Amino acid sequence: MPTVIDKSTVIEIIKEISKKMQNVDKVLKESNATLGKKNISEIIGKIAEGTFADILTEKLGYLVKSAQNDKESDLFLTKTGEKLEIKMTSTDNSWQGGEFSTRPYDYFLISWGGNFNEFFVARTTLSDKEWHSNIANRRYGTTYPAKDLYNKKDKIIYIGHLELTSRGSVKIKREKIN
For 135-158, the pLDDT digits (tens) are: 555 556 788 999 999 999 999 999
Query: What are the distances in angstroms from CA 139 to CA 39, 73, 90, 98, 99?
Result: 18, 24, 19, 11, 9
Instruction: Map residue 47 onto helix, strand or coil.
Output: helix
pLDDT of residue 48: 98
pLDDT band at 2, cuts 50/70/90? confident
d(CA 68, CA 65): 9
74-127 pLDDT, tens digit per residue, is 999 999 999 999 999 999 999 987 655 556 689 999 999 999 999 999 999 998
pLDDT, residue 47, reads: 98
Confidence of residue 178 (pLDDT cuts 50, 70, 90): confident
What are the backbone dihedrals phi and psi of residue 144, each rounded to the nearest 5 degrees, phi first? Answer: -120, 105
Query: What span, in angstroms and rounded, lies between the C-alpha atoms of 14 and 71?
Result: 25
